[in-house]
Amino acid sequence: MEKRIAEIEDKLTEISYRLDFNDQTNETQLKCVNELNSSILSSKNLAEKFIEKFELIDLKLKNVETEFELLHTEIRTLKILIETINIKIGNQ
**Each residue's pLDDT tens digit, 39-69:** 788 878 888 888 888 898 899 989 999 999 9
How confident is the model at residue 68, as a pLDDT?
92
Q: What is the pLDDT of residue 22?
A: 56
First to last CA, the chain: 67
Q: Show Cβ contacts of residue 36 under 8 Å, excluding neighbours closer than 6 positions.
A: 12, 15, 16, 19
At residue 21, the pLDDT reads: 61
What is the reported pLDDT for 43?
79
The closest of 46, 45, 19 to 30, measured between CA atoms, is: 19
The pLDDT value given to residue 10: 77
User: Would you place residue 20 in the very low, low, confident or very high pLDDT band (cuts 50, 70, 90)?
Assistant: low
